[in-house]
Amino acid sequence: MILETLVTTIDAAGAMHVAPMGPHIDAGTGSFLLRPFPTSQTYCNLVAHPEGVLHVSDDVLLLARAAIGRLPELPPHQPAEAVKGFVLADACRAYEFRARSIDDTEQRVRIECEVMRVHRLRDFLGFNRAKHAVVEAAILATRVHLLPKSEILAEYAKLAVIVGKTGDAPEHEAMALLRQYVTDYSGSGDTK
């Protein structure tokens, strides 16, 4: 199963980096697989420092901002306990992890991760249709260098209807932010 999450890693300067990531989760094993692009900041950070924290969150505005590298400031966080890293204070759950192996021989890197500590911070409220729509829009935004912009914007028109009917202010803000990002995109590499 692939679960949409947020991953925090540490960059070369020791600062927290936040990125959305869809790890392959095998429930009950205490491990998961990350598949970042080799051009991503998350990959570079994990090669240099093979520890991080995977977060389950219902904050789709944060996910959208992280997907396009538009965090005006870092979200509230605290130091991790079992690894050198950061736990997002408003996450529902957090999984401190250590990368056990990194295989960069394919187009998408394979990083096998072992969970070192689990935090249950608050209940997961759940996703309504608007939150699901924003997650889909954020994923499309991360593919803007691979897909035609017109195709993404056509999907956004459909997703915006769902956000308009069932979303609150954070979902509306996230959708507008993502649409503007794709509209303004002029071409560059993956930055997650």
Q: Report which of 169, 187, 186 is spatially closest to residue 177, judged by C-alpha positions.
A: 169
User: What is the reported pLDDT for 125?
Assistant: 84
- pLDDT for 149 equals 96
Map out the domains of the chain as residue ranges.
5-120, 129-184
Beta strands in the chain (DSSP E): 5-10, 16-21, 24-25, 31-34, 51-56, 77-79, 86-88, 93-103, 110-120
Contacts of 29 (CB under 8 A, 6+ apart): none
pLDDT reported for residue 29: 80
Structure confidence at residue 185 (pLDDT):
94
Per-residue pLDDT of the chain (192 residues; tens, 9 = 90+): 999 999 999 999 999 999 999 999 987 788 999 999 999 999 999 999 999 999 999 999 999 999 999 999 999 999 999 999 999 999 999 999 999 999 999 989 999 999 999 999 999 988 899 999 999 999 999 999 999 999 999 999 999 999 999 999 999 999 999 999 999 998 754 444
Model pTM score? 0.92
CATH superfamily to which 5-120 belongs: Electron Transport, Fmn-binding Protein; Chain A (2.30.110.10)
CATH topology of domain 129-184: Methane Monooxygenase Hydroxylase; Chain G, domain 1 (1.20.58)
User: Which tokens hold the place of 177?
Assistant: 């932010």
